[in-house]
Every structure is written in structure tokens, then in C-alpha cells.
Amino acid sequence: MNNLIKHIFGFVFGSLCLVIDSVAQEQPNIIFVLADDMGYADLSCYGNPVIETPFLDSIANIGVRATNFVLASPTCSPSRAALLTGRYPSRYNIPAPLGPGSDLGLPATELTIASILKRGGYKTKMIGKWHLGDKKGFLPMEHGFDDYFGLLYSHDYRSPYVQTDTTIKLYRNDTPVTREPADSSLTTLYHQEAINYLHDQKTGEPFFLYLAYNMPHLPVFYAAHTSDYRDGNGGELGAVIAEMDAGLRTIWNALEKQGLAENTIFIFTSDNGPWSEYPNRMADDGVTQRNHAGYSGVFRGSKASTYEGGVRVPFILYWPQHVSSKVLKQVVSAVDLLPTLAQWANAPIPEALVLDGQPIGELFTTDVAKINHRPIYYEHNGSPQAVRVDDWKLRRVTEGGKRIEELFNLAEDPAERVNVIKDYPAQYKRLSVFLDGFPNVH
């Protein structure tokens, strides 16, 4: 009888474990890759005629390539904060890039994609550039990440680029492990860290890996020992991007080796447009040149501008057996990522959490080409400078003490060459209501 009871218990327990494992399997792994200062036209699959990105091209070919993905801000700290929280950066006072020792940062009370997924049963790992505060209360492991390896801000926060007494350090969790790491080593180190992490992952234990490059933010560097990148097209910028692309292939290969690729969502995008209008201080190293910065393509503007070139960036998403090859032209925003990934992961979002984004998953997993989207805002220096409603965009800035308003129909004029504010008074009035009512008007 005792043996019979043991067998029954063993059968029931084993079956329960299989059920639990099956439920866990339904939660997809997520790899979210963020480039730094990569422009819309810096990848071959987005029209660059010389830079070669065979891996990302192959993923874009079998997945979804978005041509109208926009960010909440054209500079890194506010843009990254919005990507991770699904909320505009003025809600938590991150108006601009945060320097070392800043008293500003992403408050620990803000929920991120990592913290939402962690509550939903995910393991979470961040590798790379954080840039959301370097003081206690602002750090990665206080925002839902189990582990962290990377730099707390950009690699140019040093002489001759920035006059500061800060020493750049590579961190593991909350502890500095390398002082003044070579810029040329960063991408290689990040790739190896990602591969090591994937080697430890198992089926049935969903994970979220956030890989945030320091490149191709200026100054651009790549692995000096690897001649393959120098011999390719696109100059120094092309070499940096080629190294990233090749590393992502090795990461995907590691994922396949672990048998995890079929249940993994892969996302690639950038934190803002290219720094093609960088200040003269960046050239003080005697090495950085104008062609080291990226390309906005057809779009007007670049990093630090709320024209499309500053906020419209590449966005590639692949999820085996869930998405098919598609070019997504509907405008969507970075603040949509948190609610979308939480929905796909079956990770509950607290009812009290006010999100500015909305779930857009059906645009990727179905044949739906267009949904009703809330107004989309572009913030800069702590306030909204532009609002998008479908193809209409109203931009309002103050320059030299003068208020400038511009209305564009991006379906007819994606390069924002013609201000049609006098020709469409009804559209101007409609978008003005949204811009004046930010952030409470949807």
C-alpha cells in the first residue's frame, strides 16, 4: 500500500511539474537590444548603401521591420527611461542626458519592463549602458534587474570630450570591476557576457535580457584585433555596426544551441537618431570625424531634434511562429513596448499604474495593418515639443525667444520640408488641443 501511495504521489507530482513547466514554456523569452545613437538609415535593411548588416537583415526579412517607430525623446536618458517604463520622461523629471553624479535619475518607484516581467516570473539581466542615474535609488538592480554588467553612462564622459573628474568604470551589479575600460573592448565584453548568460538558461525558465550598447555613440571604437570589421564598407561607423551585427549572430547561435530560439522574442532598435550635429568638443580627440556619425536617411534632423531624424529609428522584431515577414508602416511609439511585452508575457500590470503607451501586439502577430493609436508625443528638455496623430504632426519650439509652430503631413512630406499650418487650420486646431493638454489628453 505504501508503495502504491508513493507511485500515485510520484505520478501526480510529476504531472504537476509537467503542467507547471508547460505554463512557463508559454511565456516567451525576450532579448531587447538597444543601439546608441544609431540613425534610421544605418542598417542595410533600412537603406544604407554601404554598411553591411547581414544578421539584422536576415531577422528583418523573416520578422517585422517597422518604418514608423518613434521615440519619446531625441536624447538618450529621457528616451531610455520612456522605453523601459512606458511613460513619458516628464512624469519623473528626466529632461535631458544625465551626467555623472547628477541628483536626477529614474526613481525606484518607477516600474520598468524588467520589474513587471520579474513579478511575472521572469529572470532579468541587463548588459551595457544604463544612463538613468548613477546614485543609490537610480541603479539597474533597483529597477527589476537580477544582474547587471556595464557602464552607468556614456563612454564619452571623460577628457577630452567632457571636463570631469569622474573615472569611467565597468560595473558588475553594484560593484566596479574595471576602471577606464578600453572603448574598443566594450562591444566584445557585452557580447561575451550575453553568451555566458544564455549558456546558463534552461527551457521552462523565461528570461528577459536587455542588451544596451554604448556604440555607435561617438567616439566610435571596435575590437582592434578584428580586421574583418575594418575591411568592410562604411568606414569606422560601418566597422562598429558590423561588429555589433556579427556579435548578435553569435548571441542568436548560442540561443539556438540552448534550444531556446523558438520561444524567444528578439527586438532591435536605437535610443535616438544619429549625432550628426555633434559639438566641436567631440572632435578634440583629433580622431572623430563627421562621417563617424550615423545617417537619418530621408528624414530631417538628428539627435537632440524633434524633427523625425531625431526620433524615428530602426525597429526590428522577430518571434518564431508568431510573426511573419512584414513591413509595419503604422506609427507606433517606444512607450508601447512595456504594455505590449507585458501582455505577451502574461505579466500583470498594476491597475494604479498610469501608462502613456498602449498594447500594439496585434500589429505584429496578425494581418492587421492599422489600429487606433493615442496621440504620440516627442519630449525634449522636459516638455513636449511635438505631437503625432496618425500622419499629422504639430511641432512647437522656442528658438531665440521666438515661438515657432510647424504642421506637417508626414504621409506626403516625410522629410518635413513644407509647413502646411496655414493650409489646414482644422488639423492645426485639433493637434493644438492635444499638445496643450499633454499629458492628460489621449
Give catalytic residues, as residue numbers: 76, 131
Nearest CA to 150 out of 206, 194, 200 is that of: 194
Q: DSSP letter at 391? A: T
> What single-letter DSSP state applies at residue 323?
-
Residues ≥6 apart with Cβ < 8 Å to 84: 106, 112, 113, 114, 132, 143, 338
Residues 55, 111: Cα–Cα separation, whole Å: 32
User: Cβ contacts of residue 285 below 8 Å, gap of 6+?
Assistant: 160, 161, 219
> In the 3-class helix/strand/coil scheme, how is 88-144 assigned residue by residue?
CHHHCCCCCCCCCCCCCCCCCCCCCHHHHHHHCCCEEEEEECCCCCCCCCCCHHHCC
Question: In Å, how far are 38, 79, 157, 280 from 161, measured between CA atoms?
Answer: 19, 22, 7, 9
Looking up cell 507585458 gives: 342
How far apart are the C-alpha atoms of 365 and 184, rounded to whole Å? 38
Return phi, psi of residue 135, to 5°.
-105, 165
Distances (CA, A) of 148 to 104, 118, 122: 20, 14, 15
Q: How many residues does the chain have?
A: 442
Record the cell numbers describing residue 130, joined without a space.
544604463
Nearest to 28 by CA among 360, 347, 368: 347
Measured in degrees and rounded to the nearest 5, phi and psi for residue 359 equal -65, 130
Find out whether the peptide bond into 216 is cis, omega within 30 degrees of 0. yes
Q: Are 340 and 28 in contact (CB under 8 A)?
A: no
